[in-house]
Amino acid sequence: MSPIPTVPSLRRLLALALSTAAATAFAAGTPAPVKPPVPKPPASAPAPAPLPVINPGIARYLAIDIRSPANYARPVLPVHYDAQVMKWQNTPHDNPVTDTGATLGRVLFWDKRLSVDNAVSCASCHQQGSSFGTTAQFSKGIHGQVGTAHAPGLANLVFYHGSAMFWDKRAPSAEAQATQPIVNPIEMGYDQANGGLPALLAKMQSLPYYPELFTAVYGDPAITEERIQRALAQFERSMIATQSRWDQGYAKVYNPALADKGLGLDVPGLTKQENAGRALFMGGPNGAGLGCAGCHQPPTFALAPNALSNGLDAGETRIFKAPSLKSLAPGQPMMHDGRFRTLEQVVAHYSLGVQNGPALDNRLKNRGGDVRVPNLSPADAAALVAFLKTLNDPAFQADGRFGNPFRK
């Protein structure tokens, strides 16, 4: 009798049998069964390499990336900013708004280092929360000096197609205006006594972010007055306010097929009183209106290029330029000397206070050449004020594209 195989012997016999079966199958042309491979876990994708810091000066001082600037050149505008309105722009052919150019202008606009005492920038007087005007009657310049003219709002500056800038129109363009506050002895202080623009340009060349910014915009690091002017003008022209309550409502009734494009229609979203004020503003003085729109042209509410002065003082010979009424932020003084603090005071002036003089606009006179005196009722005056308040644009006043680009 054969002995009973032990467990290890059974294992050897089983292995021999399997090996013999595999060999037989191979000889017959049938492959032996293959155990499927264990799948490998997928390899994790390598982390993307960080973008190289090619502008270390910009990165250190500014919360912007000049390689990916905000959109300034292609603003999204409502339907009533039609082809005719776009023709009103004062943008010269040789200085169109670009994203990088306006970004440089934004930095220049907010930079206090452009003043002699490093305390005053363009934004010190033209404050975003006031539609780039100010709540002060007169702004403070270097060393706390106080100016003599009120800083006007800048909203919709691009649509003043008379092009001349400042209250008294002494600058022929936004470019020519841009550096005048810098060399003013009260405002930013780089007059001849402080070295003039050459001293400023040398200072800017020593700031690490300006050579980088000028290279990104112009292709080389040269800093010149002309390049500063062009960039500041681009930034200011990009300040377009289009989201007021009036804009939102008028977009619903705008009709290019009508002679007035629907400006005479009631605007959805405005109250009965606000629409009554709108009718007074838009209507001509020979009808039921006051003719305000003849000088303050909707939908931009920028001043007509042929507008003259508004009779603030008797015998006035100067021809003043007013900002767009889209810059009427609450609490902002009005007129070149900031004499009016409320819209009620402004309306009262046009109702009873206009003074005659050589520079008075003909639209404020009657056919005999005397001052036209509307003598508004309290209800009409209140309605006109209510309408003017619908032109305020809080979204514009909070738009991050126009805010301070410097790191805190």
- The predicted model scores a pTM of 0.86
pLDDT of residue 168: 92
pLDDT band for position 149 (50/70/90)?
A: very high
- List of residues 6+ apart from 298 with CB closer than 8 A: 250, 263, 282
Look-up: residue for tokens 């800038």?
165
**Which tokens sit at 82?**
């039609």
Does pLDDT of 2 surpass 60?
no
Q: What is the CATH number of domain 245-392?
A: 1.10.760
242 by Cβ neighbours in 10 Å (0-12 / 13-18 / 19+) ranks as buried
Residue 157 burial (CB count, 10 A) = 25
pLDDT of residue 408: 83
pLDDT of residue 161: 86
Strand partners, 137: none
Portion of the chain with pLDDT greater than 70, in percent: 87
Give the Å distances, CA to CA, from 43 to 28, 36, 48, 214, 328: 41, 20, 15, 44, 60
CATH code 3.30.110.40 for 56-241+396-402: no
pLDDT band for position 327 (50/70/90)?
A: confident
Does pLDDT of 78 surpass 70?
yes
| Higher pLDDT pick, 230 / 39 | 230
Does pLDDT of 247 surpass 50?
yes
Look-up: residue for tokens 């006179």?
365
Task: Name which of 216-220, 329-333, 364-368, 393-397 the model is least confident about.
Answer: 329-333
Angstrom distance (rounded) from CA 190 to CA 196: 5
Does pLDDT of 23 surpass 90?
no
| Higher pLDDT pick, 233 / 8 | 233
Averaged pLDDT of the chain: 89
**pLDDT 10s digits, 274-283:** 999 999 999 9
Average pLDDT over residues 223-246: 98
pLDDT band for position 181 (50/70/90)?
A: very high
**Which tokens sit at 246?**
């009036």
Same topology for domains 56-241+396-402 and 245-392, yes or no? yes
pLDDT of residue 18: 39
**Which tokens sit at 34?**
């293959």
Residue ranges per domain, the chain? 56-241+396-402, 245-392
**pLDDT 10s digits, 26-62:** 334 444 444 555 555 554 455 554 445 579 999 999 9
Of 82, 361, 285, 221, the closest CA to residue 293 belongs to 285
